């Protein structure tokens, strides 16, 4: 990270680790609760109600991503191998990632980010505190959402966070407007007090 960039990647490392989709920040979207943006994003890959719920209720953001991948692996940690059964069962039932996913995935991501930062004031404040610095998900393996190796990736997650930052900033009342509102409130209070005194 430099004076002109904000870098994040690992969920528990660095000041801006909360920007990662793996950060647990419970939120409500369309009447349902999601433990993280990752849970929201991965569950929306599917139209099958049963499988969507499995992904939404995954124990961790990483497990939701595993369910979202629909990959059955032959080797790995015990917890990962244990997820194979559920994935295979739903593959056998014809469950698959929706055909329009590539067309809608950015809008799904944007909606999740919007909910996360609006519903958690401390995260919103942190995002706004980044000023005009470039925001980057410093993933060496993700060339779409992250920067990829040697910064050759698209960094779409960083761009979406920057767009959200601008939206939130534009919704903030300006300093002069806040001062005017305070002045109006004071004058109204003073007038009411004077009216009561003259009664």
pLDDT digit string (tens) for 125-163?
999 999 999 999 999 999 999 999 999 999 999 999 999
Lookup: tokens for 142 = 């993700």
pLDDT for 179: 56
Domain 5-171 has CATH 1.10.1060.10: no
pLDDT for 41: 98
Return the number of other C-beta atoms located less than 10 Å from residue 118's C-beta. 15
Q: Is 185 exposed, middle or buried (0-12, 13-18, 19+ CB in 10 A)?
A: exposed
CB 142 within 8 Å of CB 153:
yes
Q: Give residue 2's pLDDT band: very low, low, confident or very high (50, 70, 90).
A: low
pLDDT at 44 over 90: yes
pLDDT for 172: 83
Return the number of other C-beta atoms located less than 10 Å from residue 18's C-beta. 20
What's the distance, Cα to Cα, between the start and end of the chain in Å?
Answer: 64
Lookup: tokens for 122 = 């401390």
Closest CA to 142 of 21, 1, 6, 3: 21
pLDDT at 177 over 90: no
pLDDT for 101: 98
Residues sharing a CB contact under 8 Å with residue 82, sequence separation 6 or more, in sequence order: none
Question: What residue ranges do the domains of the chain occupy?
Answer: 5-171
The share of the chain scoring above pLDDT 90, in percent, equals 82
pLDDT for 115: 98
- pLDDT tens digits for range 68-121: 999 999 999 999 999 999 999 999 999 999 999 999 999 999 999 999 999 999
């Amino acid at each position: 990270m430099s004076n002109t960039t904000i870098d994040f990647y690992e969920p528990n490392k660095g000041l801006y680790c909360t920007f990662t989709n793996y950060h647990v920040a419970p939120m409500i979207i369309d009447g349902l609760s999601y433990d993280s943006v990752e849970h929201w994003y991965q569950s929306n890959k599917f139209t099958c109600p049963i499988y969507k719920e499995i992904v939404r209720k995954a124990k961790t953001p990483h497990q939701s991503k595993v369910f979202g991948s629909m990959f059955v692996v032959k080797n790995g940690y015990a917890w990962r191998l244990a997820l194979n059964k559920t994935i295979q069962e739903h593959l056998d039932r014809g469950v698959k990632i929706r055909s329009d996913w590539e067309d809608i995935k950015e809008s799904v991501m944007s909606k999740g980010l919007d909910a996360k930062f609006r519903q958690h004031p401390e995260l919103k404040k942190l995002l706004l505190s980044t000023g005009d610095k470039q925001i980057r998900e410093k993933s060496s393996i993700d060339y779409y959402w992250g920067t990829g190796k040697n910064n050759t990736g698209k960094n779409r997650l960083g761009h979406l966070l920057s767009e959200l930052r601008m939206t939130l900033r534009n919704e903030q009342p300006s300093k002069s407007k806040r001062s005017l509102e305070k002045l109006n409130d004071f004058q109204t209070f003073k007038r009411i007090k004077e009216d009561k005194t003259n009664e």
